[in-house]
Amino acid sequence: MIDGTWEPGPATRWEDAFLSGNGRHGAMVFGDPADDRVIVNHHTLVRPNGSEGLRPPELADRLGRLQDALLSGDTTAAEDFGAGRPLVWVQPFHPAFRTLVRRTRGLHEAVAGYRREVDFTTGEVTASYEAWGSSVFVSRADDVVVQQVTDLGLTADVVLDPGLPGAPAQLAVGRSTVLTPEGAHLALRVGYPGGANGYTGVTVARVDGGRVSVAGEGIRIEGARSLTLITRVVRGPRHPDLTKLWATLPREDYDTLLARHVPPHRSAYGRASFVLRDAAPERQLSGSELLRSARSPALLERLFAAGRYHLLSSSGLLPPRLTGLWTGDWDTAWSGAFTTNANLNLQIASAAAAGLPEVTAAHAGLVYSQLADWRDNARALFGARGIVAPSHTDGESGHTRHFQRAYPLHLWTAGADWLLQPLLEHAEVTTGSPDAALTGALVEVALFYEDFLSREDPDGSLAVVPSYSPENRPANASWGTVNATMDIAAARHALTTAAEHAPGHPSAGLWRSLAARLPAYLVNEDGALAEWAWPGLLETYDHRHLSHLYPVWPLDEINPYDTPEQAEAAHRALELRGSENDSAHGHLHHALIAARLRDPSRVAAALDAVLGGDFFHDSLMSAHYPSRNVYNADAAHTLPAAVIESLVQSAPGRLVLLPAVPAAYPAGELRGVRTRFGAQLDLRWSEDGATAVLRPTRDARVDLRTGDGFALTETSAGNPPAPLELTAGVDRVLTLGPR
């Protein structure tokens, strides 16, 4: 099994529940024959906590004094900029409720023959035991959670239950039950403490045979052949018109709804695939068995497939949160927010290359919906035009709220460039150039830097001040300082990219001039690319973030081909970097950068740390820390990107084949990769060589490079010239032999 996973028993923890989702609704399926539970999630469910109306404070009039102090050597000056404000987290993400189908007759004690399974190609989660069966999917076509239970003589109580861990005691809960000829209509209304708003879950219950009656807080089914529940969550007033909401739910049977859902899901999921030659003997093992075999090729295959499946399933209305689209607890770590200074971009890193434009569209929706708030941040905090992105958002507000001495995230100015980069990569993959909306956003980032870059260092270069490298600090200074490498890279990239794609803008020439005046990166006494390009600031190497290597990944500004000396310094910085608290995102960020720097041993070590660190639940969703500590989607969603980058890398004018293949997967096949010069690529490799098939959608001239163990031998047209000439609609076959 590659495109799915299975377990021999029901989930006993919500973290192990199998997942389904359509980018709006999510379902967590336990598959328990006696107590069939499905936790229902929705991307919009964030609990008001007093932060929703907060705007960024007016600090711009103090900015000049802060810049003077930092440039004069006051290493703690930034601690007073915004100090004294209470730390306010964004509204926390939470589950809606669980549907319970609780059988009133017992089960045999033996569990032989039980199987719980999720099919990644359809998004359907099934469980079976003797005559009992359960099937669940979240429809892309109808935007509902669909659940069917079959059992001859089914007798069960059915209820919508809001009583999940961490739920506030002050929730206002109301229920409605209406019997209908086909079964019943159920509704659960939940109001947040102290407010008028909340959310409503509405369910149509269709019962085949037997009797239905109102019982307790739900219904009782007696002697039925099957039960189908069709559920939708709506956020809004506490007292909606339930009749109208019920009327919006589809009435077709399970098979009809599934047939309507599968084509769009299967089409998206099936665009890319990854198989390894030596994986077949273990492919039929359950997920939990595979997870105990950290070096199994079948485990890497399955986690690659699961990562794409979960990433697709959690992206739609919004991109994935820290927990994707799922949680079974109201007390989500870090509010279950979108953390933008590392986690979000890492999670969606494979979207363009792995053929998931749905993920990029969800990310674009988040970004474009918040641009007005980002303009407020730029004006209020820095007195500038343009946009500044926050480091956390709940999906509703894009205002900067996180003011803290130890983590002054409000000083981070690189966020807008970082968050627009996935959209730029998607544009390169698809059309070759950004559309009007993206071009407009790129211009706004450049306008911010046009206003913000007003100070110089003693040598006459521009100084980025204040500056912050998430989430690190110099060993001999406070967090807010001068010339963080990430900030320099983001400013240079934003200015040059805007000038390139908006050449007619009145400021295009000025942007190029400002980019040229930004300081060079600094190589420290250890020969490493420094995290701060400012004299006297000492490195803090043991940290989970690798923000200073932003010029390597994703920007490709520093690479082994065009800037070999800087690439060597970046590689030295990677060698010296510790893993601090073993966060999963740190290990996989390390893998992505190591792949760009052509270091297969470091890619392998980073993957080994995640695969062998007990980061994955039986659901194949991941945790933030080892030992499955803190449910978190970073590892699950980022792993496919790390695999792809080790095998194929592309830029608008470059293709790199097999740059950093770990010894753990010496042979396999990667299909459906999208390149940033407009070609789809299928790759097959082994110790004896490799074959790549390019299918260009537009003409391109491409600099072709190979990893150290391979050399180009021939193509379908003989040895190619350098650079490689590609013609739209004409396939090109490249053959590589061992070097």
Using CA atoms, how far apart are residues 123 and 314, in angstroms rounded to an integer?
11
Which amino acid, 200?
T
Residues 463 and 333 in one domain: no
Residue 287 and residue 241 share a domain: no
Is residue 673 domain-shared with residue 716, that is, in the same domain? yes
In a domain, 617, yes or no: yes
274 and 232 both lie in a single domain: no
- pLDDT at res. 353: 98
Tokens linked to 433: 């150039």
Task: Determine, yes or no, domain membership for 569.
Answer: yes
Rg (C-alpha) for the chain, rounded Å, is: 27
Burial of 541 (0-12, 13-18, 19+ CB in 10 A): middle
C-alpha 19: how far from its chain's center?
15
Q: Which residues pair with 234 in a beta bridge?
A: 200
Determine how many CB atoms are found less than 10 A away from the CB of residue 110: 9
Peptide bond preceding 554 in cis form (omega within 30 of 0): yes
**Domain final residue, candidates 243, 262, 281:** 262
Low-confidence ranges of the chain (pLDDT < 70): 104-111, 714-722
Query: CA 193, CA 196: separation in Å to the nearest integer?
Result: 8
pLDDT in tens, 135-152: 999 999 999 999 999 997
Token code pair at residue 193:
């403490």
Angle (CA) 651-656-658 rounded to 5° is: 140
What strands lie across the sheet with 654-657, from one edge to the other?
A: 648-651, 654-657, 700-706, 724-726
- We report the CATH number of the domain holding residue 224 as 2.70.98.50
Q: Please report, as a single letter, which amino acid is at residue 694.
A: L
Q: If you ran DSSP here, which 8-state letter would residue 103 be given?
A: E
Q: Do the beta carbons of residue 162 and residue 97 sit within 8 Å?
A: yes
In a domain, 53, yes or no: no
User: Is 224 among the domain residues?
Assistant: yes
What's the DSSP call for residue 279? G
Neighbours of 223 (CB within 10 A): 12
The predicted structure's pLDDT at residue 718: 43
Q: Are residues 319 and 463 in the same domain?
A: no
Q: Do 275 and 257 sit in the same domain of this protein?
A: no
Q: Are residues 284 and 395 in the same domain?
A: no
- With H, G, I as helix, E, B as strand and everything else as coil, classify residue 247: helix
Assigned domain for 395 exists: yes
Q: Which helix (H) or strand (E) holds 65?
A: helix 63-71
DSSP helix, strand, coil percent of the chain (3-state; round to 5): 30, 30, 40
Same-domain check for residues 552 and 408: yes
Q: Where are the alpha helices (DSSP H) in 612-711?
A: 634-647
660-686 pLDDT, tens digit each = 999 989 999 999 999 999 999 999 999
The DSSP code for 46 is: B
Give dist(CA 337, CA 67) in Å, integer.
31
Select from 177, 161, 174 the least CA-distant residue to 221: 177
Residues in the chain: 739
Number of domains in the chain: 3
> Same structural domain for residues 602 and 571?
no
Residues 6+ positions from 304 with CB-CB distance below 8 Å: 274, 639, 640, 643
In Å, how far are 170, 559, 595, 707 from 648, measured between CA atoms? Answer: 52, 15, 9, 10
Which uninterrupted H or E stretch holds 175?
A: strand 172-180
- Burial label for 456, CB within 10 Å (0-12, 13-18, 19+), is middle
Structural domain includes residue 201: yes
Residues 184 and 108 in one domain: yes
Q: Which of 127, 9, 49, 45 is nearest to 327 (CA)?
A: 45
Residues 436 and 476 in one domain: yes
Q: How far is CA 240 from CA 16, 186, 194, 235, 431, in A?
A: 34, 14, 18, 10, 44
Can you give the pLDDT at residue 544? 93
Please identify, among 262, 296, 330, the residue that sits at the C-terminal boundary of a domain. 262
> Shortest CA distance to 674 belongs to which of 428, 353, 427?
353
Q: Which residue(s) pair with 619 in the sheet?
A: none
Q: Is 250 left (phi over 0), alpha (psi -120 to 50) or beta?
A: beta
CA-wise closest residue to 100 among 175, 172, 157, 54: 157
Per-residue pLDDT of 290-331, as tens digits, reads 999 999 999 999 999 999 999 999 999 999 999 999 999 999
Cβ 562 vs Cβ 526: under 8 Å: no
How far apart (Å, rounded) are the C-alpha atoms in residues 264 and 354? Answer: 16
User: Could you tell me which of 619, 682, 687, 653 has the C-alpha nearest to residue 117?
Assistant: 619
Separation of alpha carbons 604 and 112, rounded Å: 38
Q: Could you tell me if residue 360 is inside a domain?
A: no
Residues in CB range of 459: below 8 A, 6 or more apart:
none
- Can you tell me the distance from the alpha carbon of 251 to that of 516, in angstroms, rounded to the nearest whole number? 62
Residue pair 206/255 in contact by the 8 Å Cβ criterion: no
- Is the residue at 357 inside a domain? no
Across 306-343, b (16+ Cβ under 10 Å) vs e yields bbbbbbbbbbbbbbbbbbbbbbbbbebbbbbbbbbbbb
How many Å is the maximal CA-CA distance in the chain? Answer: 85
Domain region containing 678: 270-341+594-739
Residue 562 maps to which CATH number? Answer: 1.50.10.10
**Helical spans, DSSP H, in 453-522:** 485-501, 508-517
* Closest CA relative to residue 468, chosen from 562, 537, 516: 537
Decide: residue 575, CB within 10 A, 0-12 exposed, 13-18 middle, 19+ buried: middle
Burial 144-162 (b: 16+ CB within 10 A, else e): bbbbbbbbeebebbbbbbb
Q: Cα–Cα distance between 203 and 212 in angstroms, integer? A: 15
Indicate the burial class of 721 (C-beta count within 10 angstroms; 0-12, 13-18, 19 or more).
exposed
Pair 463, 455: CB distance under 8 Å: yes
Domain boundary among 526, 552, 578: 578
How confident is the model at residue 714, as a pLDDT?
59
pLDDT tens digits, residue range 503-562?
999 999 999 999 999 999 999 999 999 999 999 999 999 999 999 999 999 999 999 999
Q: Does one domain contain both 213 and 114? A: yes
